[in-house]
Amino acid sequence: MLPINEQIFLAPFQPDDKAALIQYLNDPVLYANTLKIPSPYTALHADEWLQFVAGEKDAPGGICNWSIRHREHGLIGGIGCFLKTGLNGHVDEIGYWLAQPFRGQGIMTAVVQRFTQWMLEQRPALVRIEANVFPTNPASIRILEKAGFQQEGYHRKVHLKEGKYLDGVMMAISRES
């Protein structure tokens, strides 16, 4: 468990998160701003996700994908890393989402700050963390900037989604040494 503030903490996903996943991930704004979350998000997608993250508990490096939880409301989001160059690699990438009712309260800024700090504490070989954001998502670029990420580049047609090539803004933070 990773505390964020008095109300919010990060913890492993739980089997009974299924209903909240289906409720919150069927969101056109969320779908428009992410690459890997399917739409419509079905019960089968939720089952597959919960099975995948349950398997992480026994993985050598432990959990990469955390649920964002509110003491009163339970599951409200997710944040994870992709293990781009493996657990002992020097580069990784993060992705995250927050349920619509909880946006605009500074929650994800605090979560990204704490989660990236935690990644650097846990993984001594890690020196660089990336986030690749659609240019149409200024809120995400802003939270990354507030968490210490810098905009490093504009990648044209870097993503392929529904047969369309989409641009990406490369945001990154590196370990101070």
Check if the beta carbon of residue 109 is closer than 8 Å to that of residue 146: yes
CB 148 within 8 A of CB 171: no
CA 33/CA 142 separation, integer angstroms: 14
Q: How far is the CB of 97 from ligand COA (least distance, A)?
A: 4
Strand order in the sheet with 74-81: 2-3, 8-11, 65-70, 74-81, 91-98, 128-133, 164-174, 150-161
Of the residues 142, 157, 159, 161, which one makes contact with ligand COA according to CB under 6 A:
142
Is residue 75 close enough to count as binding ligand COA by CB under 6 A?
Answer: no
Query: Which CB atom, from 88 or from 150, has the smaller least distance to ligand COA?
Result: 150
Query: Shortest distance, CB of residue 144 to ligand COA, whole angstroms?
Result: 8
Alpha-carbon distance 77 to 17, whole Å?
Answer: 11
* Least distance between ligand COA and beta carbon 164 (Å): 17
Task: Give 65 or 137: the residue with its C-beta nearer to ligand COA.
Answer: 137
How far is residue 78's CA from residue 65's CA, in Å, rounded to a whole number? 7
Contact call for residue 96 and ligand COA (CB under 6 A): yes
The binder of ligand COA chosen from 21, 53, 81, 107 (CB under 6 A): 107
Count Cα neighbours of 126 within 13 Å in the Cβ-side half-sphere. Answer: 23
Q: Is 138 in the site for ligand COA (CB under 6 A)?
A: yes
By CB under 6 A, residue 174 contacts ligand COA: no
> Which of helix, strand or coil describes residue 141?
helix
CB of 177 to ligand COA, least distance (A): 27
Q: Does 113 bind ligand COA (CB under 6 A)?
A: no
Binding site for ligand COA (CB under 6 A): 29-30, 33-34, 96-98, 103-109, 133, 137-140, 142-143
